[in-house]
Copies of this chain bind each other. A is one copy, B any other.
């Protein structure tokens, strides 16, 4: 009956997603503010159509949270669905083969910014909800909270959650904002890395200087910034910030052996990214480096003359955006503080350094023995025909830790994306197979979760 309804409405489900993908809801850039609002309104209308009650745009200090609910029976468990309608910036635009906000379907995939992260995955929940409502099979109470600032660190969600604690009572948080190993190898994310994101500014002379007249005699802030950044890793690619690893939870050999069971082909991996070699912390393999180990990456750097042609200038300032991925039991506050202290301490007297913390999030590990995880596992097994593999992801969903601390709720991360979806990159895509599979699997989670909570 569920599948009947889903098949009958498949085309409309996809068309509605495409319409939403046409809205450039980039939260990082103020010039898209109006589009972000338009997307919130669009989502509100769809939730009402799907059968949600009390649908509204809840004001925050930033972009509104789209809230909606369906409370069928106080004796049934309540699922809080979280997702986000904002997207990453789409630049560099020139690397897209089709415009990022003009979705196209090619080889069974939807190509657009946000196709997977997170509009595609978030909208599966809206359509799964519609399906359960229209077929009278809704087995749990549902509360939707879809935010518009995930890509800028969910800066106002904590305040929203604290303010609406009562309204947000429930039994579990359900999120689809992660990936799975492959379409024939479903997996559920049980761990996430935290994040500490900062911007640094190095100032040399008080004005741009002619590199001929001053070159060699004054500190060039670009050269100095490069030296400071380079010094943050040693020859084994360990991070040199004092105390950085103090609280890192080392995994047991058994846990590492478990992880090694997940299918992974290093040659394929290198080939897919056209890498001459992988690169990372000595003593760990690739799948460990990007999941259970903390990292430090420069996400952006700029300074001096970057236009066409040549300019022989020593700039006054150089900048970098630097982020660190954290693992249990590091905290973003602790690491941000240690970075700031260290980075300021290694600056030579010839420059001034400013470190501006941007945003952060805490790492989490979700228990696989919980009813929520078990219900999700059964749902995947039924629709995919194989048991899902529990995996630790290298990504960060800071709000998962926040939901735990503020609402006392665990999150179950039913992600249907693939690495090849290229989220945060040009030509982001999401498979129609994955979109529809999600819509089929989610109602089964509700069913099994209600049973297991009985």
Which A residues have a C-beta under 8 Å from some C-beta of B?
27-30, 88-89, 91-92, 95, 151-153, 179, 193, 195, 197, 204-220, 222-227, 229-231, 233, 273-281, 286-287, 289-290, 293-315, 318-321, 323, 325, 348-352, 358-359, 393-396, 419, 422-427
Among B152, B213, B426, the residue within 8 A (CB) of A310 is: B152
Given A89-B305, A348-B279, verify A207-B312 contact (CB < 8 Å).
no
Among B210, B217, B306, B325, the residue within 8 A (CB) of A301 is: B306
Could you list some 17 contacts between A and B, CB below 8 A?
A: A28-B307, A89-B307, A91-B305, A207-B425, A207-B427, A213-B419, A215-B323, A219-B277, A222-B300, A225-B226, A277-B349, A279-B350, A300-B313, A301-B301, A302-B303, A312-B424, A313-B424
The answer on a CB contact under 8 Å between A273 and B207 is: yes
Closest CB in chain B relative to A143 CB, distance in Å: 27
The answer on a CB contact under 8 Å between B306 and A300 is: yes
Q: Most chain-B CB neighbours within 10 Å: which of A233, A307, A309?
A: A309
The answer on a CB contact under 8 Å between B286 and A217 is: yes
Q: Most chain-B CB neighbours within 10 Å: which of A153, A226, A318?
A: A226
The answer on a CB contact under 8 Å between B226 and A212 is: no
| Complex Cα spacing A52 to B294, Å | 71
The answer on a CB contact under 8 Å between B208 and A425 is: yes
| Complex Cα spacing A276 to B197, Å | 28
| Complex Cα spacing A309 to B338, Å | 22
Given A29-B307, A218-B273, A225-B226, verify A208-B424 contact (CB < 8 Å).
yes
Cβ-closest chain B residue relative to A281? B216
Cβ-closest chain B residue relative to A319? B306
8 nearest A-B residue pairs (beta carbon): A212-B395, A28-B309, A216-B295, A300-B304, A219-B279, A230-B230, A279-B350, A206-B274
Q: Most chain-B CB neighbours within 10 Å: which of A195, A217, A286?
A: A217
Among B230, B276, B310, the residue within 8 A (CB) of A299 is: B310
Which chain B residues lie closer than 8 Å to A290 at the CB level? 213-217
| Complex Cα spacing A318 to B303, Å | 12
Which chain B residues lie closer than 8 Å to A213 at the CB level? 179, 290, 393-395, 419, 423
| Complex Cα spacing A274 to B205, Å | 6
| Complex Cα spacing A250 to B419, Å | 57
The answer on a CB contact under 8 Å between B300 and A303 is: yes
Which chain B residues lie closer than 8 Å to A358 at the CB level? 310
Closest CB in chain B relative to A302 CB, distance in Å: 4
Among B312, B314, B425, the residue within 8 A (CB) of A210 is: B425
| Complex Cα spacing A220 to B151, Å | 21
| Complex Cα spacing A164 to B60, Å | 72
Known interface pairs A230-B230, A276-B350, A313-B424; 9 further A-B residue pairs with C-beta atoms within 8 A, sorted by A's residue number: A28-B308, A28-B311, A91-B307, A95-B208, A195-B312, A211-B297, A211-B325, A223-B229, A227-B230
| Complex Cα spacing A299 to B225, Å | 13
The answer on a CB contact under 8 Å between A349 and B276 is: yes
Which chain B residues lie closer than 8 Å to A209 at the CB level? 273, 424-425
The answer on a CB contact under 8 Å between B311 and A88 is: yes
Among B276, B301, B419, B426, the residue within 8 A (CB) of A222 is: B301
Closest CB in chain B relative to A335 CB, distance in Å: 14
Closest CB in chain B relative to A328 CB, distance in Å: 15
Among B218, B225, B296, B312, the residue within 8 A (CB) of A279 is: B218
Closest CB in chain B relative to A92 CB, distance in Å: 8
Closest CB in chain B relative to A275 CB, distance in Å: 6
Cβ-closest chain B residue relative to A309? B28
Cβ-closest chain B residue relative to A227? B230
Given A220-B298, A231-B230, A302-B301, verify A359-B310 contact (CB < 8 Å).
yes
Which chain B residues lie closer than 8 Å to A206 at the CB level? 273-274
| Complex Cα spacing A216 to B15, Å | 38
